[in-house]
Homo-oligomer: A and B are copies of this chain.
Amino acid sequence: MSNDRLYILKAIELASASISDGGGPFGAVIVKDDKIIAEASNRVVTTNDPTAHAEILAIRQASALLHTHDLNGCTLYSSCEPCPMCLGAIYWSGIKKVVFACDRNDAEKAGFSDRLIYSEIVLQPHERIISFTREAENEGKKVFRQWDELENKIPY
């Protein structure tokens, strides 16, 4: 059995166990140097946290363990294609390889909004089903100028 297959089966096992544990049917593991360094399953309802998707929790665990926000060199295995929130987190984390089992269409059939969010995200803010408006643009830009002028910034 390939290592990729071994690790994705572990993520799927976590997803399955999550159901009996009151969580959503999603699991994820993060692997570095051929070792699992983080394991998580969906905890949205059990912890009252809409951001507690398996991938987000696994990324937070791995970053805490490695004492860095930069997970370059790690691979994420997820029982389902990451939703836009988790996809964004993957880019910010520097992870360069993702393996998933189910996709956004499977998730939609199971009652999850991943595909809706994917279709909303490409729209201009004013075209979305959520109201997005802009206010105090000039005041906001001053903060970025303050940032520009800061020396010794840590980029991320």
Contact = CB atoms under 8 A, between A and B. Distances in A.
Interface of A: 4-5, 8-9, 12, 15-16, 19, 24-25, 44-45, 48-53, 56, 59-60, 63-64, 66-71, 79-81, 83-103, 106-107, 109-111, 113, 116-118, 120-122, 125, 130-137, 139-144, 146-148, 150, 153-156
A124 to B, nearest CB: 11
A71 B98 contact: no
Contact of A48 (B64, B136, B141): B64
A23 to B, nearest CB: 10
Given A50-B63, A99-B135, A140 B4 contact: no
A51 B100 contact: no
Contacts of A68: 48
A141 to B, nearest CB: 6
B45 A101 contact: no
